[in-house]
Amino acid sequence: MNIKPLIVIDAGHGGWDNGAISPDGERLEKNDNLKLALAVQNELKEQEVPVLLTRETDVFVSLQERVQMANEANADLFISLHRNSFPTHTPTTNGLQNYIYLTAPETTARAAQLVVDEIVEVGVQSNWGVLRENFYVLRMTKMSAMLLEMGFIIDPIDNALFDKHLYDYAAAITKGAMKFFGLEYREKPEPPPDNKITYIQNLINQKFNLDMPLSGYFDDVTRHYMISALQIALNRDFRCRLEITGYLNNATMNAIPRLRKCQRGYTVIILQALLWLNSYDAGPLDGVLGTHTCIAFCTFIKDNGIIGSCMPDRFVFKALINGSS
């Protein structure tokens, strides 16, 4: 039996350490790093490749702790994810950089180049290629290690590319890492034509100004965008001030009220869309919690053994986002 390699994905910064910040102060490197790390984790899991994250939430982890995790796990590859910055924006402060240690062997250089090639295939503003530097996480890790700078957070085009291609970049990093180990990346099958899920994905994109991939599958990527849409809906309907993260954190859960029959709003649209994504006919996405939607909701909670929820509440939304049993 072949033992697959263990890959460590390191989301740079976190907690009190914001990392680089966009000029308007709205975009923090630590958040971009974590979003990409979680997406890469999902890709590796789908490819059945063992993966370890140095952090899965917005917490501070020291450089020493990150290295220790990887070394103690006897990992085979370490990939640290970052966004770049510079005191002044110039014509050259954009694009992809991938760093390896000053004296890293050619095997590490090959791994780094394979990852760069896959990311460039997706699309970058400029490609700086594989560079060498004396970063702590590169110097102290015992396995092949690279530090990816996924564009400059001070450059609007790099930021737009990061947002547009987040999941494509995650797949590219996964492909490059797997190529290094001689593993074949399994492409996702094309969705069947006239797929209902594709229709729902497109409708949510239009209503909430999102860029969800029209995959035709209720997968983790779709869940991420549906949570973003839910956060937008709660902000619109109930004047919440939720950060649009795409993650079902405590703040989002606590903001979800118990809906009532005949209630109207964007949050009801999300409820209807989630019911459809779970294969329950909720009627048109009209934002009205009417009879048709109530029947679909009642059928869902009965089929999934959800007790105590006579009307949609935060626990029902969580179950719908996680998917039917």
What is the distance between the alpha carbons of residues 96 and 83, in angstroms, rounded to a whole number?
9
Cβ-based neighbour number of residue 193 at 10 Å: 7
122 sits in which H/E element: helix 106-122
Say if CB 98 and CB 177 are below 8 A apart.
Answer: no
DSSP calls for 257-285: PPP-TT-BSHHHHHHHHHHHHTT------
What is the distance between the alpha carbons of residues 171 and 168, in angstroms, rounded to a whole number?
5
Distance from CA of residue 105 to its chain's centroid?
Answer: 31
182 CB-near residues (< 8 Å, 6+ apart) = none
* CA nearest to 94, candidates 153, 172, 18, 28: 153
Dig out the tokens for 306 from the structure: 């959800």
What is the distance between the alpha carbons of residues 297 and 312, in angstroms, rounded to a whole number?
8
Crossing angle between the packed helical segments 220-238 and 196-208, to the nearest 10 degrees: 40
What is the distance between the alpha carbons of residues 18 and 31, in angstroms, rounded to a whole number?
8
Residues labelled catalytic: 149
What is the distance between the alpha carbons of residues 288 and 76, in angstroms, rounded to a whole number?
52
What is the distance between the alpha carbons of residues 117 and 127, in angstroms, rounded to a whole number?
9
For β-strands 51-53 and 7-11, DSSP reports them as parallel
What is the distance between the alpha carbons of residues 122 and 48, in angstroms, rounded to a whole number?
23
